[in-house]
Structure 1
Amino acid sequence: MSRFNATGSYFNDTEIHPEQTYLQLYLAYNVLFLIGGFCGNILILSAVKVNEKLHNFGSVFICSLIVADLCVLVLADGFTLTGIVTSGETFLERPSLCTWTSYFCLAACFCAFWSIAAASAHTYLHVCHRFFYVKHIKAGKIATAVACIWIGCGLLLLPSVFGWGHHAYDPLLMYCVFQYTFFAPYTIFLVIFGTIMPLSLTTAAYAGIAHTVIQSRKKWQRQTGLDGNAKLAKLTKPGMSPLKYA
């Protein structure tokens, strides 16, 4: 069907505008990402539950990571769908909803980073400091560590709700986000304690694991008189690890 526009020329009601196409693609992307992310995380949780070999302390931090990821999926992608469908009116008319969805989403992101760091630190202690690990790492301490991660990340962002930061609706993303330019000192604080510190801890942990493995392999080769990975692999029996020489 065609009709006149304001300039007196004809236009077609069925014409697809670039903005409409963008919204449709953005909507499809978020739906697929939400479904894929949700199914992937549920599969990982199911694998941890079914496989008894994964019933260990390290998997607790992996489960914490999965829960944080699911929170981000629901809060970010789920509410983005709401923003697309309602053209942002849901958030513009409810500033408190906008603030708290952004707050919990960013807190969950920080929890994910710290859960990865905790899992890396756990692996480092298990591989590189076995006697310390066996003596001090218990179920109660693991539960306390997970609780500290979630409570700490929540407290880390709490000042953003009470004046040190600002959460607002972004018409481009069609979702509420933290305004990083609102108060620069607090933003720097968040970046350091929310991302840089856990990523640095993760990097340091795996660097320590790699160093321990390399040194253990060299020590094992010296004690057995072997030289070369081929001979080492040939002589190594099932269940025998050079790490026991560390």
Structure 2
Amino acid sequence: MFLPNATRLLLGDLLPAVTGAASSTTGQEGAASGDYSPYSTTTMEAAHNDTTTIPDWWQPKILRPPNVFLSSFLSLLLSFTIVMDLVGNSFVIAAVTKNERLRNLGNIFVISLSVADMLVAVYPYPMTLIAILNNGWTMGKLHCQLSGLITSISAVSSVFNIMVIALNRYCYICHSLLYEKIFTGRNSILILIVTWLMTMLALIPNYYVTTVQYNPQVYTCSFVYTSSAIYAFGVMALHFLIPLTVVAFCYLRIWILVIQVNHRVKVTKPKFMLVDVRNFMTMFLVFVLFALCWGPLNFIKLARVFDPLGIGPSIPEWMYIGSYYLAYFNSCVNAMIYGTLNQNFRKEYQRIVRNTKESAYYFVVDLQEQIHEMRMRRKPTYAGARRIQGDTYL
């Protein structure tokens, strides 16, 4: 919660005198150790206390030293992620909507997951790319808050959609009779709406407990949970641990059933086809890669908040930055998984590419013909040129 303007002005005159000695001592220790961390607690407190130069949202008091290699690598990685995210997930949505074999109730949640992944490529990732190129956040408070909010919506809705997909596959394979009652057309739409409502409700407490702040280490705006360790653990449990535990349980039960069928063990469940197993493998890999991409970032954040052994400051900066951009990269991998493991998606991708090439070819040919016609209209004929020349001499 931020202070009123009058209070901030008063504190701006008093705090420098009070905290000057402490900050100078801390600065000498930091300089002696040679450890620079613009996102450290000391720097954040100094940024909050310095109200004469810092607005009412957090901005690092000390700019990050420019690193051409790191900036170039992160900008290229993020640019690749943005392009692949938009193109790949657009292909997924087009494939599901146009292919009859893919147009089923279960893949509604696949489209929802693709939409969640595309949210970050439309707005937050480009904002982060601008911050990388400018070596700092120059877009102001509003863009920072919107970027952090949309990033959180995308991440939470992705894990909730993965959970719903796992429940859908679990009911379809392990409880086929129950599946027909639960996942009807109307119920599937309601479940989809509830999934996104749960995402919004899960993010509401963040605006009362914490705030969106710019992190110069990773050039991005995000919610900061350092104020309360218990709340940070609750957020991680609700947004990551509990949903993935449900997903792990569903896929474990499916794996057990698949193994029993392969070993010809008598089971009371209805038989399922080989294509169902392939679809299950595809979505299982989506879950595994999501856990691998987002797991390191969540556990590093949790270690920095609790830090019972004092290992938080010893975490290498490259590991912290890598965990962030590994999580960012997850938004573009699902489309690759579908195209690699699912034959229907792969054929539809090829058809979309082929149609796109044909459309582009005919567009270029038509454009060339139009340009040629325009030139012919502007170019006078030989008789017309003689007539114009004669009129001129008259």
| Superposition TM-score tier, normalisation by shorter sequence | 0.7 to 0.9
The yes-or-no answer on 1:59 pairing with 2:107 is yes
Name the count of aligned residue pairs: 207
> Which residue does the alignment assign to 1:156?
202
Pick the aligned partner of 2:238 from 186, 193, 200.
193
> Which residue does the alignment assign to 2:82?
34
**Relative to structure 2, which stretch is displaced further, 149-158 or 58-67?**
149-158
Shift in CA distance, 240/56, structure 1 to aligned 2, threshold 3 Å: closer
Pick the aligned partner of 1:107 from 135, 140, 153.
153
**Which whole-Å deviations, capped at 9, do the CAs of 1:53-111 have from their partners, x for residues lacking one?**
111111011111100000122333211122234443434xx323312320221121011
**TM-superposed deviation, 1:156:** 0.8
> Which residue does the alignment assign to 2:324?
none
> Which residue does the alignment assign to 1:233?
none
* Residue correspondence of structure 1 range 1-246 to structure 2 within 5 A: 19-91=67-139, 94-162=140-208, 164-219=209-264
C-alpha RMSD of matched pairs (Å): 2.5
**Which whole-Å deviations, capped at 9, do the CAs of 1:3-56 have from their partners, x for residues lacking one?**
xxxxxxxxxxxxxx9623432332222112211221111122222123211111
> Which residue does the alignment assign to 1:228?
none
Contact 2:113–2:157 under 8 Å retained in 1:
yes
Alpha-carbon distance between aligned partners in 1 of 2:171 and 2:180, rounded to the nearest angstrom: 9
Query: Could you tell me the percent identity over the aligned residues?
Result: 24
SS of the residue aligned with 1:52? coil
Under a length normalisation based on structure 1, what TM-score does the superposition of the two structures give? Answer: 0.75
Output the amino acid matched with 2:155.
C
Alpha-carbon distance between aligned partners in 1 of 2:71 and 2:181, rounded to the nearest angstrom: 56
Output the amino acid matched with 2:79.
V
Alpha-carbon distance between aligned partners in 2 of 1:113 and 1:123, rounded to the nearest angstrom: 15
SS of the residue aligned with 2:101? helix
**TM-superposed deviation, 1:240:** 8.9
Contact 1:165–1:186 under 8 Å retained in 2:
no
**Which whole-Å deviations, capped at 9, do the CAs of 1:138-180 have from their partners, x for residues lacking one?**
1111111111111111111112123x11210111211101213
SS of the residue aligned with 1:176? strand
Unpaired runs of at least 5, structure 2: 1-64, 268-272, 278-394
Under a length normalisation based on structure 2, what TM-score does the superposition of the two structures give? Answer: 0.48
**Which whole-Å deviations, capped at 9, do the CAs of 1:186-215 have from their partners, x for residues lacking one?**
221111111111111111111111222233
**Relative to structure 2, which stretch is displaced further, 210-219 or 197-206?**
210-219
Shift in CA distance, 22/219, structure 1 to aligned 2, threshold 3 Å: closer
Output the amino acid matched with 1:24.
S
After superposing on structure 2, the runs of 4+ consecutive aligned residues of structure 1 that deviate more than 6 Å are none
Unpaired runs of at least 5, structure 1: 1-16, 223-238
